[in-house]
Structure 1
Amino acid sequence: MRFLRLEKICNLRATVPAYVKFWIVVDNPIDSHVSTVKDLRTRMNNDQLQVSNNYFINVIHYSENRGASYARNTGYNYSTADYIIFLDDDIVPGENLLDAYIGAIRRYPDAKVYVGLTELPQACNLWTEMLSACNVGYFYSIAQKMTRPSWGVTGNLMVRGSRFNPTIQFKSIYPKTGGGEDIDFVYQYKRFYAPQGQRVTVGVPQAKVFHPRWREVGVFYRQIVGWARGDALCITEWPEKTFLIFPNCVEHVFFIIVPTTAYLRRPVAGFVAAASVIAIESLMKGFSYFEDVLSSPHKKSHARLALYKGFHYTRYVDASTGLMVDRAGYTIEKRFFLFS
């Protein structure tokens, strides 16, 4: 299945003149994987040679898995292109992906990071419902919510070529499975081009890919842990981006109430305190949320629907077009504030 998607990626074409090369980095040491990818390259290159000397495929492979950062640096540094598009091998690209990115270059020639749209499937079980509720996939579709995103996931991202900014690299300190390295990478672009006073990032919602991962791999704890570790490393790598905030209910309960209760040996009092903290914070968030929603008659129906459906309001948000409740810009980030 994954090799079929890889073939679809390599079949991407632009309807306007553009010189394109594909670099496939195979960091899986299994011989059958390497041979399959090389056979794909040979067959597609031979077919393409009958048409033009464009859209050729290059394959690089390693005898060991060196991680996402190392693999991306390989393609990033081997290429001499003006712009480089990062795509994961488990995505299904939209047919007009190249046209969308080329159009974005023409509209925003000064940008250095172009963030594409990665669509996730609807939640299909309790595990994916939980991921939706905690908003862990928010930045996959950030291009649909912001014109100038702060960063974007490298599963669908276009950046200025490495020959223009060779000091920018994916760092090896981040987990091999991925997590945090994409944030760090985009922040490096922002710092590199800061003296020019330019807006570095831009969202390209027309550059769509579909990420079917949730439906196929089930529960992937290791991936989630890697994201958490990588995000935590960003705090030490970019201290100037950090800020102080009052602990939320989970932090209150597990880092303050539980240790204090264990020390004082008063479980009933601890339970009451924990329940009170959770209730108070939920009410505060709820009132803040519904005050904004009910400020306009147009939004009252959405608020009632959320009240009636309770937790399954996440499905309503996912099903709505553009992941927005209305044109006023109330995005999924605002909607999921109740469950954060």
Structure 2
Amino acid sequence: MPTSIDVIIPSFRLIPETLLPILKLQKPANATIRFYLIADNPDIVIDRSIQNLVDNQTVSLLINKQNMGASATRNRGIEAGHSYWILFLDDDIEVTPDILLTYAQAAEKYPDEIGFIGLVDMPPPPTSFAKAVDADGAMSIFSAARNYESYPWGATANIMIKRSVVGDVRFSSAYPKKGGGEEVDFFLRVRQLNGSKNYKCLPAAYVEHPWWKNGQTDYDRFYRYGIGNSHLGERISQYKWYDFLNTSETLLFSILAAIIALPINLLLSQYIAFFALATVGIEYIVNIVRVQRKTRKIKLVTAFNVMLLRNIYEFGILTGNLSRFRLAGIGERFNYLGNVTKSKIFRFNRYKIIKLILYTAIIISLLLF
């Protein structure tokens, strides 16, 4: 049975080198394809090579009157189209020529699925920072289609969803304009509307995503992701739970306690300051173990970068909650697998056990000496 697909591509830069291969993709015979290129830049000068493809039938170009951000721009694409399926693609990916054919065949073969998660690969990490991102698994959502048969949410870099299952759900403007958390929120809420059914993974629908800034250090991105994800427990509360304080939270309380204790008891304040310093050391040790398990090698520099990456992300969550005076967000964690579990507090893993052992040793040492 013939189907139809709206391809939604939000873009700020509208770079022809990456957009033209997408707009010129091979179209399957059994599907009607419509491209919606949404420019989130009112001052953009459209390159002639792109403008020549715009016919407002196969390719439509929408230009926002002001910079609206990732969420609102994708929402405009959703509202502009009317096809049976909605395919989200990033504007900077390198597509495989038959990706639309792959999605159309999947739609025909699995008509009862609510959506399909495509595979997003990144080149080998070119820098020490990129190696830390890879070792940490910070972008593991990109490879979900390779590792799972189905998954509860996907990256808008490459995912197709059935329009009828979306209902009134839209990407929320509560998240940062440049993105962070809105994808998790949108796809989990759509999933909830459809009996918590996961999206089918489709590794054959493959794209390659470049390293941002060629892999150069970019902690701001992950700090922003943290700020965005701080909204998740508040907006989708059934998936939140509480755990031991992470390093950022521990440091915050330690520094506040040391300041409060300083005029009262200098020695106590020094002990608390030492505990805060030890917290950083413990975090580093744990990340050495984490990287060793991932790479099978002791990599001290990579472990240090992973520690920075993880804690800047967690600091983003902390500051995101504090900026909204949401103290309930301290110690709050979110289940990205979309599982509602009976245990709402304290979950152990090997890394937490290592931390608890080291913290206990530090506290005992302070008490003895």
**Shorter-normalised TM range:** 0.7 to 0.9
Map 1:1-340 onto structure 2 (within 5 A). Answer: 2-32=15-45, 35-36=46-47, 39-44=48-53, 56-161=58-163, 165-194=166-195, 199-216=197-214, 218-252=216-250, 254-265=251-262, 266=267, 269-270=271-272, 272-274=274-276, 277=279, 306-309=296-299
Is the Cα contact below 8 Å between 2:117 and 2:200 reproduced in 1? Answer: yes
The one-letter code of the counterpart of 1:182 is E
Deviations 1:80-106 (A, max 9, x none): 111011111111112221122223324
SS at match of 1:44: coil
Quickly say closer, same or farther: Cα 1:55–1:13, change in 2 above 3 A: farther
The one-letter code of the counterpart of 1:27 is D
Deviations 1:114-165 (A, max 9, x none): 211111233323432343344321212222222221211112111112x554
Q: What is the CA distance between 1:286 and its match in structure 2?
A: 8.1
Higher relative strand content? 2
Q: Distance in 1 between matches of 2:351 and 2:26?
A: 40
| Count of matched residue pairs | 291
Q: Distance in 1 between matches of 2:275 and 2:285?
A: 15
SS at match of 1:207: strand
Q: Distance in 2 between matches of 1:108 and 1:86?
A: 19
Quickly say closer, same or farther: Cα 1:305–1:193, change in 2 above 3 A: closer
Q: Distance in 2 between matches of 1:203 and 1:78?
A: 26
Aligned identity (percent) is 23
Q: Distance in 2 between matches of 1:305 and 1:18?
A: 43
Quickly say closer, same or farther: Cα 1:276–1:41, change in 2 above 3 A: closer
SS at match of 1:259: helix
The one-letter code of the counterpart of 2:204 is Q
SS at match of 1:19: strand
Root-mean-square deviation (Å): 3.5
The 10-residue stretch of structure 1 (254-263 or 149-158) with the greater mean CA deviation from structure 2: 254-263
The one-letter code of the counterpart of 2:235 is E
Q: Distance in 2 between matches of 1:176 and 1:285?
A: 31
The one-letter code of the counterpart of 2:252 is F
SS at match of 2:91: coil
SS at match of 2:118: strand
Quickly say closer, same or farther: Cα 1:249–1:43, change in 2 above 3 A: closer
Q: Distance in 1 between matches of 2:64 and 2:180?
A: 21
Q: What is the CA distance between 1:277 and its match in structure 2?
A: 4.8
Q: Distance in 1 between matches of 2:141 and 2:351?
A: 15
Correspondence for 2:327: none
Q: Distance in 1 between matches of 2:78 and 2:351?
A: 37
The one-letter code of the counterpart of 1:225 is Y
SS at match of 1:64: coil
* TM-score, normalisation: structure 2: 0.68
Q: Distance in 1 between matches of 2:204 and 2:32?
A: 20
* TM-score, normalisation: structure 1: 0.73
Q: Distance in 2 between matches of 1:256 and 1:41?
A: 53
The one-letter code of the counterpart of 2:103 is Y
Q: What is the CA distance between 1:308 and its match in structure 2?
A: 4.6
